[in-house]
């Protein structure tokens, strides 16, 4: 017997109710995923505004932090076109505009839904420190221009500021120890563990305007002004760190040349650190633009200076030594140079930035002995300019300076920081470790993540989601059951 029209209408209503219930369940579950299971990765952007160039780094880390600190990895490295922002003193607007290209790359990488929650920071180092000393209003104009551009982006811009030299060294120390797995690492048993004490390494950084050293000494740090403390992954660290302004690569070269000018009226300089046969002419005024050059400027700065290379490494080392002041600091004990306290060197060290770039060019990044490094640099310095040019085509921009830089690094590390023939093998010259650039930016981001509020742990989110979803399923099934029972009663009424 066929169904009556009432029964057909009821079945249609029942089918519609079930379909609507299932559709609602699917839509609600999708919404639950969006609300209760947010993206499990956070991002952060750091601009490293150095003296010679600016770089942008994007870092990412899981929402669930380990002992209060994010486990961070590098997602993008972008070098900004043009010089460092301190070079835009006469055109500060361009300092901000120069950052747009790399900023757009970063925004394209980070999911749009996470832009507002992504912190961004710009740290300016020694180049802007020098400009601030020379002309504070120009430095302020550059920071204002940079802030206008970055604050207009959709991310959480947290400011552009001058990074203290001590912070630059300390954050570099955090970076290298993190990427080497010496602060925390993932074990084969599936747990995060802290490596044994005594395995931490020191950091040696050589920028364009400053150089930094940072390490955990074997004894107490007697001068607290050189001490930085951190709390990372549930542990406390006390690090010796110091930054030497005016001892970076570019400023060293300027100071070196200025020191070779015999008199204010000199128009010719014979440079022992340049290869024999090299000759160039430059405006005399350019030598005295930096606050790092303490020599008295001649009255007539409009004249040009001719520089001729002599290729004499012995005389070059003597000129470089004049840049250092190694008078002892008896009141606090040990001294490195420039009357600065330094405890005895301890452990392994990683040397990066211009330490690495110079020694990589000289093929000295394979743990060669100090004697081999000395002999290699000296032999290179003695080569005539024509032979050097022919041997390294396409590298003319920096070629003339590798002799001076190589000898400067040897002098800085041995006579400045105190490395010896015995401790020299403890230095590794590296640009990266574990696919991550070594510098202060990652260390800064690691420290910053300790200040970002933790999200709910994944386990809690999963449990909450399961309970919530189970409740929704229960309600929908109850609705279907009630409608089904009504259908049975309707079709097969009991006597």
Where in the sequence numbering do the catalytic residues fall? 168
Nearest-CA neighbor of 232 among 187, 178, 186?
178
**CA dihedral sign, ordered 220, 223, 228, 234:** positive
Residue 131: burial class (beta carbons within 10 Å; 0-12, 13-18, 19+) = buried
Nearest-CA neighbor of 241 among 175, 322, 324, 143?
175
Nearest-CA neighbor of 403 among 358, 370, 365?
358
Q: Is 262 helix (H, G, I), strand (E, B) or coil?
A: coil
Q: Distances from the Cα of 167 to the Cαs of 214, 243, 404, in angstroms? A: 10, 9, 28
Q: Cα(459)–Cα(37) distance, rounded to whole angstroms? A: 11
Q: Using H for helix, E for strand and C for coil, what is the string for 336-380?
A: CCCCCECCCCCCCEEEEEHHHHHHHHCCCCCCCCHHHHHHHHHHH
Nearest-CA neighbor of 172 among 103, 100, 123?
123
The residues that bridge with 356 in the sheet, in sequence order, are none
Using the CB atoms, write b or e for 441-463: b if 16+ within 10 Å: bbbbbbbbbbebeeeeeeeebee
Residue 72: burial class (beta carbons within 10 Å; 0-12, 13-18, 19+) = buried
Q: Is 76 helix (H, G, I), strand (E, B) or coil?
A: strand
Structural contact between residues 362 and 404, judged by C-beta atoms closer than 8 angstroms: no
Structural contact between residues 192 and 254, judged by C-beta atoms closer than 8 angstroms: no
**CA dihedral sign, ordered 249, 128, 436, 239:** positive
User: What are 490's two structure tokens?
Assistant: 């309707």
Give me the helices (H) in 180-305, please. 249-260
Q: Residue with structure tokens 């209503």?
A: 13
Q: Is 332 helix (H, G, I), strand (E, B) or coil?
A: coil
């Amino acid at each position: 017997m066929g169904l009556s029209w009432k029964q057909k209408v009821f079945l249609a209503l029942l089918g519609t109710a079930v379909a609507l219930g299932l559709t609602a369940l699917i839509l609600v579950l999708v919404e639950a995923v969006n609300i209760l299971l947010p993206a499990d990765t956070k991002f952060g952007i750091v601009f490293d505004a150095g003296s010679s160039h600016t770089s942008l780094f994007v870092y990412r880390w899981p929402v669930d932090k380990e002992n209060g600190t994010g486990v961070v990895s590098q997602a993008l490295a972008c070098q900004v076109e043009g010089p460092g922002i301190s070079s835009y003193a006469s055109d500060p607007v361009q300092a901000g505009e120069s950052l747009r290209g790399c900023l757009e790359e970063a925004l394209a990488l980070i999911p749009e839904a996470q832009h507002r929650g992504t912190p961004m920071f710009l740290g300016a180092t020694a180049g802007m420190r020098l400009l601030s000393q020379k002309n504070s209003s120009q430095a302020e104009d550059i920071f204002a221009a940079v802030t206008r551009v970055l604050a207009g982006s959709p991310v959480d811009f947290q400011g552009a500021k001058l990074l203290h030299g001590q912070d630059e060294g300390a954050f570099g120390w955090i970076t290298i120890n993190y990427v080497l797995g010496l602060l925390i690492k993932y074990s084969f048993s599936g747990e995060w563990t802290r490596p044994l004490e005594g395995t931490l390494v020191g950091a040696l950084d050589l920028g364009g305007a400053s150089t930094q050293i940072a390490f955990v000494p074997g004894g107490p740090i007697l001068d607290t002004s050189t001490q930085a403390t951190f709390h990372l992954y549930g542990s406390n660290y006390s690090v010796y760190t110091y930054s030497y302004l005016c001892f970076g690569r570019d400023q060293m070269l300027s100071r070196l040349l200025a020191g070779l000018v015999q008199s204010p009226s000199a128009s010719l300089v014979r440079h022992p650190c340049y290869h024999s046969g090299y000759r160039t002419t430059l405006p005399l005024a350019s030598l005295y633009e930096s606050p790092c050059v303490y020599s008295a400027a001649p009255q007539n700065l409009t004249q040009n200076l001719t520089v001729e290379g002599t290729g004499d490494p012995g005389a070059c080392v003597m000129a470089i030594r004049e840049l250092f002041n190694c008078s002892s600091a008896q009141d606090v004990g040990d001294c490195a140079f420039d009357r600065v306290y330094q405890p005895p060197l301890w452990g392994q060290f990683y040397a990066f930035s211009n330490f690495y770039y110079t020694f990589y060019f000289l093929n000295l990044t394979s743990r060669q002995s100090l004697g081999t490094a000395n002999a290699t640099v000296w032999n290179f310095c003695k080569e005539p300019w024509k032979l050097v040019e022919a041997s390294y085509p396409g590298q003319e921009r920096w070629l003339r300076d590798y002799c001076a830089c190589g000898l400067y690094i040897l002098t800085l590390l041995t006579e400045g920081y105190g490395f010896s023939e015995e401790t020299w093998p403890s230095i590794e010259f590296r640009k990266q470790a574990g696919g991550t650039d070594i510098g202060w930016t990652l260390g800064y981001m690691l420290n910053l993540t300790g200040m970002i509020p933790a999200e709910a742990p994944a386990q809690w989110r999963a449990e909450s989601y399961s309970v919530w979803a189970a409740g929704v399923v229960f309600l929908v099934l109850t609705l279907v059951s009630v409608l089904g029972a009504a259908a049975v009663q309707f079709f097969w009424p009991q006597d």
